[in-house]
Every structure is written in C-alpha cells, then in structure tokens.
Amino acid sequence: MFDQLTKLKEKAVREIKNSKVLKELHNLEVKYLGRKGELTKLLRQVKDLAAEEKPKFGQLGNEIKEELNQLISEIKFELNKKEKAGSSKEKWLDVTLPGRKFIKGHLHPNSLIQYQLEDVFSRMGFIILEGPELESEYYNFEALNIPPTHPARDMQDTFFIKDKTGWVMRTHTSNMQVRTIEKYQAPLRAVFPGRCFRYEATDVSHDTTFYQLEGLMIDKDISIDNLIAVMKVLLKEVLKREVKIRLRPGYFPFVEPGFELDVNCLICGGKGCPVCKHSGWVEMVPCGLVHPNVLKYGGLDPKEWSGFAFGLGLTRLVMMKYGIDDIRLLQSGDLRFLQQF
C-alpha cells in the first residue's frame, strides 16, 4: 500500500506538470483529489492496515495530498497568466487611434422643399395627404371633368399600364382632388405632395418623373383673392425673397376660371435662358377655382360650396430655389450633384 501511494503520487505529479490548459488541470485535480479521486480512495483503505502502520500511512498520504495541492496551485497560477495574456491580446484596443468616419445620408433637395412647404401649409391649417401613384383613369381624368374621348387628355402624355386597362401612372397630383372631397367633404383644406409620371421627351425643364404639390381649399364663398393670397405666402416662405409673379389665363377642365401662375426666372433673373425657354418666366403654379362638376363628383353641392385648387411644380420650384439649370440632375443619382445639399 505504501508503494501504491508513492507510485500514484509520481503519476499525478507527471500528469499535473504536463497540463497545458486550466480545464485540463481542473480535471486532474478532480481525478486525484476529488471526493471520488484516486488518492482519496487509496487513503480510505487505511482501515485495512495494521494498527501500527495506520499513522505512518495517514501521514504520508497527507504529505502527498499537500504536495499535489501546492503543485496544482502553482501551475494554476502560471496557466491563468498565460490564458489571460492570450485573450487580452485579441481584445486589445488602442484608444489613441483616430475613429472611423461614419458616412451619413441627407435629405434630397426635393424632400427638403417638400417638408418646408408642408410646414408652411400646416401653419395655414391644411392637412397633408399622400395619394396613389398607380391610379384609375377615373380619378386621374374622368372625375376631373375629362371624359374618355375629351381632347384635354392629350394635354398630359400618359403612361398606360399593360394588361391593366383603366389604370395609369398618375400624370398629376390632381388625382387626389375627388378622392379627398369624397372622404372629407367640406369645409376642407388639404395639400398632396407626390410623384407624377409623363411620357415626355426630356429637356432641361421636363422629366418623365417629377414632383408636384397639389392644394385644395373648399369652403363658402372662396374667390381668386384667397388663391392669390395663399400663393404669395407660399412663394415668399420657400424662396425667402420677394419674387415677381404673373397670372395669365390657363385651361384645365377641372377649374373655372383657370390660370397659369408664372414666376420670374431666378436662374437668369428674367433675361432669358434655356430653363425659361428664353421668356424670362417659368410656369410654376397652374391654378383656378374648382369646377362645379368636380365638386359634384365629390358629392358636394356647387351652389353651397366653392373652392380653389393649384398644382405646384415642386421640382421646378426646387430648381428656382437652388439655381439648378437642368431638371434631370435631380433624378440622376449623381452624388457629385446631390452632396451639395
């Protein structure tokens, strides 16, 4: 038994010294010194020895136990140091290094002006609504007093939808007029900003996709004075300067009378350039008093209610505000252009 004890010690010392990681060392500690460990078991056999041998065996056993415990704690200390050094190397953070620059996006100039306009109109008591870009011919044309065979349909070159008869990509935000009257009735103040689509040859002031902001006000005794007052506030707030405007007759089947509100070209100062087609004026806000038939389509009595409507060319206003001389830049996705805003 004394022999067994010495051999067990030698084996344990060898294995403990060879352990490479803490986990392995822990397993050896359990293997030899645990409650069911090999040394523990051997020491329990003390009862089988002769009475005079018992104290010697017990003493040797305890010395070995102490030696192993000592060895284990020394090796544990070393392995701990090693493992900590390894893991902290991976997590090493040099706080003196310069940070990485975070590239932030920003609003498109169209959105900037749209939000500014929404703010101006909210302050004047208008609600802001969005409308569908894929629209029925009914709301895009018919409900606006433009029946299927009416030549006024030719005023707006339309994208029709293959295999979806009766539907178009909306040509203007006026599609929201009757939708809104149907839903909210009168009195009513609303603006509808949004994207419009036309099958047009593009040039510096025309694109196939552009933005408009439609306005609609319905109440008792609305007149052209109300319309002009609102237009003046709108242009002054957005352009932040007094601009010359002119009103001339314009034909739109859904207003009567109808007007074109032109702004003195801010690109050339009215001298004439490709954007204003060398006229000095840019067509910006077609408008007029809501046609009685449109009120009727919305379910209102034109004898009781009247209103004005306008269809601001939002993209053109953006051009005037920032002095952009080609509308196509706005949808180009060219970062050299967009990063200037």
Size of site (CB under 6 A) for ligand FA5: 25
Q: How far is the CB of 240 from ligand FA5 (least distance, A)?
A: 20
Residue 158 binding ligand FA5, by CB under 6 A: no
Residue 198 binding ligand FA5, by CB under 6 A: yes
Closer residue to ligand FA5 (CB): 283 or 325: 283
Closer residue to ligand FA5 (CB): 98 or 151: 151
Query: How far, in Å, CA of 290 to CA of 296, rounded?
Result: 10
Contacting range for ligand FA5; rule: CB under 6 A; set: 27-35, 64-72, 182-190, 279-287? 279-287
Residue 170 binding ligand FA5, by CB under 6 A: no
Report CA-CA distances (Å) from 5 to 29, 30, 39, 71, 341.
Answer: 16, 17, 8, 17, 85
Q: How far is the CB of 166 from ligand FA5 (least distance, A)?
A: 20
Query: How far, in Å, CA of 182 to CA of 136, rounded?
Result: 15
Q: How far is the CB of 170 from ligand FA5 (least distance, A)?
A: 10
Nearest to 170 by CA among 206, 132, 202: 132
Residue nearest to ligand FA5 as judged by C-beta position: 313
Nearest to 172 by CA among 202, 140, 216: 140
Residue 210 binding ligand FA5, by CB under 6 A: yes
* Number of H-type helices and E-type strands within the chain: 11, 9
Q: What is the 3-state secondary structure (H, E, C) of 212-264?
A: EEEEEEEECCCCHHHHHHHHHHHHHHHHCCCCCEEEEECCCCCEEEEEEEEEE
Residue 315 binding ligand FA5, by CB under 6 A: yes
Q: How far is the CB of 94 from ligand FA5 (least distance, A)?
A: 53
Q: Are the beta carbons of 182 and 281 closer than 8 angstroms?
A: no
Residue 313 binding ligand FA5, by CB under 6 A: yes
Neighbours of 260 (CB within 10 A): 18
Closer residue to ligand FA5 (CB): 64 or 255: 255
Residue 32 binding ligand FA5, by CB under 6 A: no
Please work out, in degrees rounded to the nearest 5, the angle formed at the alpha carbon of residue 78 by the alpha carbons of 76 and 84. Answer: 95
List the 255-264 sheet strands across, edge first: 127-128, 188-197, 209-219, 306-313, 281-290, 255-264, 245-249
Contacting range for ligand FA5; rule: CB under 6 A; set: 26-34, 73-81, 102-110, 209-217? 209-217
Residue 286 binding ligand FA5, by CB under 6 A: yes
Residue 310 binding ligand FA5, by CB under 6 A: yes
Site of interaction with ligand FA5 (CB under 6 A) = 156, 172, 174, 198, 200, 206-207, 210, 212, 214, 252, 255, 258, 283-284, 286-288, 309-311, 313, 315-316, 327
